[in-house]
Amino acid sequence: MSDAETHKTLTWPEFLKEAKQFLDKSHELNDNWELVEKDDQEPNSFLRYSQKIKCKVSNDLINIEYHIVYSVSYQVPMLYFQAHRSDGSLLDVEATWSLFMPDASRSDLYEMLTQMEHPVLFRPFMALHPCRTSEILAQFGRKSENILITFISLYGPYVKLNLSNSYGLDCSKI
């Protein structure tokens, strides 16, 4: 198999185009995604979404901000997020992990979650590892109608970011 069949990567203009398409879809469905544009340099625009969830263990209300940022090195979208409690304190890697996946093992943690610098904001953010993303995106048989919907719906559920079913409805209309 050729590289194009086993890996699906995106160029920066493609990412931007798909992000805008995704944003239109979100507006259409009255969802709260926003596009943050720092300037028009690569990769200084990203999608932002925030939600509040209740921690089952401590009963705290946790506010999470999710960013979908373009990774220049991997040429795929990457999911960054930051979670904080209602008193403003940030959750560290361990606390984030126990919030999302209390049952999974420690070795899984280090395979998928890292704290790293946000490529646009230069602040520490939690990120999901991007090294398999291009392979997974390539598995989707026919060409995806919007690769960002595919990406977010695949990786989001790991961090409680669940897209509504309506995102899967006919994307060609947007």
Per CB under 8 A, 23 contacts other proteins? no
What is the Cα–Cα distance from 74 to 7, expressed in whole angstroms? Answer: 11
User: What is the token pair recorded at 136?
Assistant: 């997974």
Alpha-carbon gap, residue 117 to 174, rounded angstroms: 33
Site track for other proteins across 42-81, x = CB under 8 A: ----------------------------------------
In degrees to the nearest 10, what's the CA dihedral of 102, 107, 112, 117? Answer: 100
Q: Is residue 171 among the annotated active site residues? A: no
Of the two residues 34 and 135, which places its CB atom closer to other proteins in the complex?
135
Of 20 and 129, nearer to other proteins (C-beta) is 129
Structure tokens at 45: 């625009």
Q: Which stretch binds other proteins (CB under 8 A): 55-63, 65-73, 84-92, 105-113?
A: 105-113
Contact (CB, 8 A) for 110 and 159:
no
x-or-dash string of contact with other proteins, 131-170, rule CB under 8 A: xx--xx-xxxxxxxxx--xx--xx-xx----xx-xxxxxx
